[in-house]
Amino acid sequence: MKRLILILTFFLLLINGIVFAASATVKQNISVQSVDGFSIKGTLEYPRVKGQKEFSTVVLLHSLGYSSSWWESLPKDLLAQGYAVLRIDLRGHGASVYNSKLVRSSWSNMTDSAFAKYPDDVINVIEKVKSDNTKRVFFNDWAIVGADIGANTAVLTAEKAPVKPKTLILLSPVEEVKGLYIPVKLAHLTGIDILAITGTDDVAGKASVDYLKKFAQAGFATYTSESRSTGMLMLKNDNSLAKIITAWLGDYL
């Protein structure tokens, strides 16, 4: 009997060890200095899978006034699906608040000319990830999930990026925010399907999505969340939304 108990105990420990190993991740802190000396911070995380060299990557761009730590369960759900996740603190947010003189600079004090640098900041972080990981591939197949100003940044980044994302998921996008105007840029995104998500009570947001849809050159699907919030806060109030996002990504990555 003792022998049987020991065998069962060893088996359970082995199974738990396998589950733990499968759920373990590698995390890298990313830091990039922009041309104007602003320090942009991000975090790359991907599953620790022995022998795997290529990962489909999801870039997360947060809402105005928040940071990359506000994504609720979405990063964990994406990692569980085998994706790499790159979370970026946009200029003036989170850890990305120091200019070339090491003086804190908040988004609330920034001009539209500073917000206009968001797409270049994102591309610079992506290029940094590539240069720091020459033995792994993260950006052959990738996508962006952006919320409000992050959604507008996603469109502008996709338009400028040399390797285009496979798809975009836009939470509460609008025609223009902080000078980031996207309708014309949407018209340049040929072959990139888009999912736009708005909250139940977001009448203005739905009107914006209907307008933006006119400029889309590929598929433009819409989804109404049960949440009454907007942007990334919809994830906090709608537990099913992360699953909707991962399911959409599964068709492209």
Taking the C-alpha atoms of residue 106 and residue 228, their distance in angstroms, rounded to an integer, is: 27
pLDDT above 60: residue 13 = no
Partnered with residue 170 across adjacent β-strands are 146, 196
- Residue 19's pLDDT is 34
Burial environment of residue 244 by CB neighbours within 10 A (0 to 12, 13 to 18, 19 or more)? middle
Element (H, E) at 224: strand 220-224
Of residues 19, 90, 11, 84, the one with CA closest to residue 47: 84
Taking the C-alpha atoms of residue 159 and residue 152, their distance in angstroms, rounded to an integer, is: 11
Over residues 149-204, the pLDDT tens digits come to 999 999 999 999 999 999 999 999 999 999 999 999 999 999 999 999 999 999 99
The pTM assigned to this predicted structure is 0.90
- Residue 101's pLDDT is 83
- Superfamily (CATH H level) for 25-250: Alpha/Beta hydrolase fold, catalytic domain (3.40.50.1820)
pLDDT above 60: residue 20 = no
Domain boundaries, the chain: 25-250
Backbone angles phi, psi at 193, to 5 degrees: -75, 150
